[in-house]
């Protein structure tokens, strides 16, 4: 476990997909009253559980997009008192988890903001801004993979436009259906002070965070022509 700032920690673990070393990262935010929010749970083991319990009471477990629910069941079994909030199947009536809109209401008076990232519905990601530490928490909207990986992993991420480069992968860019909506969501995120960006895969961005974020998303939105005639209604969540 690594403490990044006041009331925010990360756990990092190995994770392999398609034979490539993605790595995986869970973020823990301590809210008022010692309540903990677990963002994008990683594979559970006794060391991780003990470390989390030492920080406070697990109140919220969050799957912040459509792809990061692989290890949720084991966390819910370990912490049955926690409320589970998910972006997966949001609005479809699926009752496996509570909708993100309720979490947004519950954290209104906390030092955290939640913004739905529009324009990429297949991913359906929510960005979290921990305003106490000026930290943006992303899941799959950006990777930051370095060279300390196997040869095949380097080839895989190079082909996906994600080696030694912070930002959306080629796969992520291919899923953008409304670049204007995405750019507007990013503009909302950029209204906040951001000194650090946590990603689930790769290194945490600790320098020039806001400048880099603006640049990479401006670039990817310009490269994707909009396929939609109408725009989604966009607003800050929370």
CATH number for the domain including 147? 3.60.15.10
Please check the confidence at residue 238 and state whether its pLDDT lies above 70: no
| Residue 45 located in a structural domain | yes
By C-alpha distance, which of 137, 135, 134 is closest to 126? Answer: 137
Q: What is the pTM of this model?
A: 0.90
| Residue 233 located in a structural domain | no
| Residue 141 located in a structural domain | yes
| Residue 71 located in a structural domain | yes
Q: What are phi and psi of 47, to 5 degrees?
A: -65, -45
Question: Which whole number is the average pLDDT over 116-144?
Answer: 97
39: containing domain:
2-222
By C-alpha distance, which of 180, 192, 191 is closest to 217? Answer: 180
Q: What is the mean pLDDT of the chain?
A: 90
| Residue 108 located in a structural domain | yes
| Residue 183 located in a structural domain | yes
The domain tally of the chain equals 1
Q: What are the tokens at 156?
A: 């895989």
d(CA 156, CA 170): 11
| Residue 232 located in a structural domain | no
**For 39-51, what is each residue's pLDDT tens digit?**
999 999 999 999 9
| Residue 52 located in a structural domain | yes
């Amino acid at each position: 476990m690594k403490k990044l700032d006041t009331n925010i920690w990360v756990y990092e673990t190995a994770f392999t997909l398609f034979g490539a070393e993605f790595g995986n990262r869970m973020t823990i935010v301590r809210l008022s009253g010692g309540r903990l929010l677990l963002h994008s749970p990683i594979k559970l083991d006794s060391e991780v559980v003990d470390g989390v319990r030492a920080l406070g009471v697990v109140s919220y477990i969050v799957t912040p997009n459509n792809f990061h629910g692989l290890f949720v069941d084991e966390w819910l079994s370990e912490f049955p008192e926690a409320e589970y909030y998910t972006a997966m199947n949001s609005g479809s009536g699926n009752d496996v988890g509570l909708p993100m809109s309720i979490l947004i209401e519950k954290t209104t008076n906390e030092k955290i903001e939640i913004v739905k990232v529009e324009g990429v519905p297949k991913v359906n990601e929510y960005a979290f801004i921990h305003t106490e530490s000026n930290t943006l928490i992303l899941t799959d909207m950006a990777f930051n993979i370095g060279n300390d990986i196997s040869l095949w992993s380097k080839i895989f991420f190079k082909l996906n436009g994600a080696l030694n480069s912070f930002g959306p992968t080629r796969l992520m860019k291919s899923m953008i259906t409304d670049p204007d909506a995405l750019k507007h969501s990013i503009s909302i995120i950029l209204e906040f002070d951001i000194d650090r960006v946590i990603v689930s895969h790769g290194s945490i961005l600790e320098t020039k965070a806001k400048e880099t974020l603006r640049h990479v998303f401006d670039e990817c939105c310009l490269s994707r022509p909009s396929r939609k005639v109408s725009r989604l209604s966009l607003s800050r969540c929370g």
